[in-house]
Amino acid sequence: MKTFATYNIKGGVGKTATAVNLGYLAARDGYRVLLWDLDPQAATSFLFRIRPRVKGGGKALIRGTRSIDDAIKATDFDGLDLLPADFTYRNLDLLLGAAKQPVRRLGSLLAPMSAEYDVVFLDCPPGISLLSESVLQAADTLLVPLIPTTLSVRTLDQLTEFVSGLDGSRPSILAFFSMIDRRKRLHREILEELPAQRDDVAAAAIPALSLIEQMSVQRAPVTAFAPRSAAARRYEELWREAGKRSELPPPPC
Amino acid sequence: MRTVLRQFVLSRGAGADPDEILRLPGSAFAVSDGNRPATLRRLWLDTFDWRLYRSGLTLEQVGTRGVTQLVLSGRDGAVIAAEQVGPRAAHGHPAARENGQARPGASPHPGPGGRLTWPARLDALPFGPLRDHLGPVVGVRALLPVARAVSAVGDRRVLNSDDKTIARLTVDRMSVTYPAAGDAAPRLTVTALRGYQSQAQRMIDLLAAVPGIADGGSQPALETALAAAGRRPGDYSSKIDVRLAPQMPAAAALAAVLTALFDTLEANVPGTVRDLDPEFLHDLRIAVRRTRSALKLAGDALPGDLARRFRAEFKWLGDLTTPTRDLDVYLLGYPDLAGRLLAASADDLAPFRDHLERSRAAEQRKLARGLRSARFTRLAAGWRDALAAVPAGRSRPAVARLAAARIARAHRRVIRDGSAIGPTSPPESLHELRKRCKELRYLLEFFASLYDPAQHWQAVRELKALQDCLGEFQDTQVQQDEIRAFAAQMLEERAAPAATLLAMGEIAAGLAARQREARTEFAGRFRDFASPASQTRIRALTRAAA
């Protein structure tokens, strides 16, 4: 089981769109995929028309009184299941803090899922917190959407430094440009310069396209409702690169 | 993940249009319009003796939208293994393909044009989990088409008030084309999506109350297809399945047993002629041997000179099958023989294997000619007519009395001949004893339905242990004789390099060692069989029925 986390300290950078589209593409390729909407804003759950509610809330999940298994819902897409968000996830930091070995907690909750799923996506809320640390421990690969601005690049540096200082297992980082607006000079410059300077920045990049925003109207991944669109093709490229970099094995028969 | 919650049968005569029924008017659920039904070409496969079905497995070749898959599933419909067998489509993560990582199921030989043709032996299947699962169950048997159907499968989604899919409705309209043409009533399968079982259950309760929709049980599609074609799965077994009543006239009972044996014999003729797998010939031969034993041991109970008239013909049939079967035994045991070599290598034996295969091909042609001959046709027709003419009315003796007397006599002979065998007795004496044991075994099988199953099983088990030992002794003797003959023949044909002859010599030595081992075991096995307790059991078995 490979675990990808879409993560950034900043909000509104395209984490949810990435998790939803890459999750859909993985399932389409034949992997058994679980997507965990960890963000109490519940955008991922909304996109799949699944009510953001987990019986017993985050507390029951973190304490283990309710198994993850019971809370999982199938999406409308074959092979893609969702562990929905719950408003109590806003307290996940506190709940983790009360747990034993809090930074390993998400990983240990997910470990039993490896018999059922090949790929897990964790769609994380923004911020840097105990939950983030637990995500970093559980993930094999961090997918970091990056708006091509100076501040975003600085945030990537902070994250890289933070990850390298972690004890135990460290995820690999794959940053990629997101919400690119080629009309902006700064975007174009950073797009040209940064990949040449850093090997943790993907060649694939996601432009700011209105079709991606349409996802919240269609309530489906753009890769599903407009698979031949430019937006879907960019996500395909990103998925291919993420799979290759993370050495994802072929799906089961 | 989806769970099949319920299957329904849609009544065609109920007057309601299934498309309308499925709209669930007035409910809180919305049902999406059906997509254009996909055409599913379905072919179910099993061995001639239904090994998959009997093991709770279903193997189906499904073709839809240009993709053909072999799917192995369990009794609950859950897929155990699947393998694409048509022209191979791209599969998996593109990166995995680019990295050159082959799927574990990737096949070295999907067959010409990527298609499998049936019947096929297991070695025609691609390597992978599917073949691994099938291997232990199917063994050497060929997989044959048991049913073929074309389904028009339409899918609808059931949506809740959030427009979220909670279940899928699949309507399968199946037309069976083999083994006979027939239409199955349309089947509706309700599959709940994970996490929505309780909502789906509410929708099922609504469906169940709709006129024209009846509970469809959990009949697998294979059984539906076969039922539409007027067949049932598991309808062949090489075992004698005749229900006899103790007071039945012996002649009629014997005729029933012999008819069942001939049914088995004839059922195996096409597979033997087409050389589909070695078990067809094996079952055919056993049916012949059983018939010959029945004629020898109880033929006098049949009217007139019926037994005498047919004994020579069944001997001809038995002899016709011997050479091919002997070579089959060699070829089936070949990997084991080659694996036991210590001094020689398996490659040294290759010319021997070629010789065996050439000889077998020649013998198989003779066998097929014999089974297609006018002589065999005459035997079959004459035998059936003669058995049908055996009167069913009351006549003496009753079958239970005849069975008790003949089993007792055969048993006495085994005890007598076996007790006379000592450490210095010639091999022929063990060979003769093996024949006596077979006779007793066949009698126990012919009349099995007269006896208490548990007692019968116990008696056969003790006899079988003795037979296994005698079989090993005799088979290794025959194989030693044969390998010497093969060596002489190969030398004559200049087809035997020195290394091959040496390897064959090593095999002969191995066979001799196994034969000695069987001989050592014999005394103990016979002692168990001839124990007072075992003898009492056999007597009690037949006495109770008589």
B194/A51 Cβ within 8 A: no
Q: Yes or no: say if A90 and A52 are a contact pair by the CB < 8 Å rule.
A: no
Q: Scan residues 162-201 of B and list those with Cβ closer than 8 Å to A.
A: 162-165, 193-196
Q: Yes or no: say if B349 and B503 are a contact pair by the CB < 8 Å rule.
A: yes
What pLDDT was estimated at residue B113?
47
Q: Work out how many domains chain A is built from and give that number.
A: 1
Q: For residue A141, what are the domain limits?
A: 2-245
B409 shares contact with chain A (CB less than 8 Å): no
B95 closest CB neighbour out of A50, A51, A243: A243
- Residue A51 with chain B: CB contacts under 8 Å: 162
- Integer Cα distance of B8 and B147 in angstroms: 22
CA distances from B422 to B419, B425, B476 (A): 8, 5, 20
Q: What chain A residue is nearest to B196 in terms of C-alpha separation?
A: A73
Query: What burial class does residue B120 get, using C-beta atoms within 10 Å of its C-beta: 0-12 exposed, 13-18 middle, 19+ buried?
Result: middle
What pLDDT was estimated at residue B155?
87
What pLDDT was estimated at residue A101?
84
CA of B193 to nearest chain A CA: how many angstroms apart? 6
| Per-residue pLDDT tens digits for A86-113 | 999 999 888 888 888 888 889 999 999 9
| Per-residue pLDDT tens digits for B444-467 | 999 999 998 888 898 898 899 999
Structural domain includes residue A155: yes
Q: Yes or no: say if B31 and B22 are a contact pair by the CB < 8 Å rule.
A: yes
B83 shares contact with chain A (CB less than 8 Å): yes
Task: Indicate if the pLDDT at residue B15 is higher than 60.
Answer: no
Per-position DSSP letters for B128-167, written without gaps between them? SHHHHHHHHHHTTPPBEEEEEEEEEEEEEEEE-TTS-EEE
Q: What chain A residue is nearest to B81 in terms of C-alpha separation?
A: A253
What pLDDT was estimated at residue B526?
93
- Residue A248 with chain B: CB contacts under 8 Å: 93, 95-96
B273 shares contact with chain A (CB less than 8 Å): no
Question: Chain A interface residues facing chain B, Cβ-Cβ under 8 Å?
Answer: 26, 29-31, 48-51, 71-74, 76, 81, 116, 219, 239-241, 243-244, 247-251, 253
Q: Yes or no: say if A72 and A114 are a contact pair by the CB < 8 Å rule.
A: no
Structural domain includes residue A252: no
Q: Yes or no: say if B367 and B281 are a contact pair by the CB < 8 Å rule.
A: yes
Task: Indicate if the pLDDT at residue A31 is higher than 90.
Answer: yes
CA nearest to B314, candidates B293, B286, B288: B288
B94 closest CB neighbour out of A49, A50, A240: A240
**Which residue has tokens 């609950």?**
B76
Structural domain includes residue A231: yes
Helix (H) or strand (E) holding A6: strand A2-6
CB atoms within 10 A of CB B76: 9
| Both structure tokens of A252 | 């089961």
Q: What is the mean pLDDT of chain B?
A: 86
Q: Yes or no: say if B74 and B222 are a contact pair by the CB < 8 Å rule.
A: no
CA nearest to B83, candidates B24, B26, B130: B130
B1 closest CB neighbour out of A31, A76, A81: A81
Q: What is the mean pLDDT of chain A?
A: 92
What pLDDT was estimated at residue B104?
34
Q: What is the mean pLDDT of residues A10-39?
A: 95
Q: Scan residues 127-166 of B and list those with Cβ closer than 8 Å to A.
A: 128-130, 157, 162-165
Question: Could you tell me if the ipTM is greater than 0.85?
Answer: yes
* DSSP at A100: S
B129/A253 Cβ within 8 A: yes
What pLDDT was estimated at residue B116?
80
CA of A127 to nearest chain B CA: how many angstroms apart? 30
Which of the residue ranges B172-181, B257-266, B397-406 has the most confident prediction, judged by mean pLDDT?
B257-266
Give the relative orientation of helices B453-492 and B498-529 as an angle to the nearest 10 degrees: 160
Structural domain includes residue A251: no
B96 closest CB neighbour out of A50, A219, A249: A249
What pLDDT was estimated at residue B87?
55
What pLDDT was estimated at residue B112?
43
Pairing of strands B79-84, B67-73: antiparallel
Instruction: Please name the residues in contact with B235: beta carbons below 8 A apart, sequence gap of 6 or more.
Output: B50
Residue type, B380: A
What pLDDT was estimated at residue B93?
44
Under the banding of pLDDT at 50, 70 and 90, the label for residue B375 is: very high
The CATH 2.40.320.10 portion of chain B extends over 2-228
CATH value at residue A130: 3.40.50.300
What dihedral angle (degrees, nearest 10) is formed by the CA atoms of A44, A50, A56, A61? Answer: -40
| Both structure tokens of B161 | 């008030």
> What per-residue string of b and e applies to A94-107 under the rule 16 or more CB within 10 Å gives b?
ebbeebeebbbbbb
A253/B81 Cβ within 8 A: yes
Kindly report the CATH number that applies to the domain delimited by B250-545: 1.40.20.10
Beta bridge partners of B81: B72
- Domain range B2-228, its CATH number among 2.40.50.140, 3.30.1490.20, 2.40.320.10, 3.30.2400.10: 2.40.320.10
Q: Phi then psi for B130, rounded to 5 degrees?
A: -60, -50
Task: Indicate if the pLDDT at residue B394 is higher than 80.
Answer: no
Q: What is the mean pLDDT of residues B468-473?
A: 94
Q: Yes or no: say if B58 and B224 are a contact pair by the CB < 8 Å rule.
A: no
Under the banding of pLDDT at 50, 70 and 90, the label for residue A20 is: very high
Task: Indicate if the pLDDT at residue B545 is higher than 80.
Answer: no
Structural domain includes residue A42: yes
Which has more confidence, B9 or B198? B198
Give the relative orientation of helices B453-492 and B532-545 as an angle to the nearest 10 degrees: 110
Chain A interface disruption, residue of B91, B93, B98, B163, most A CBs within 10 A: B93
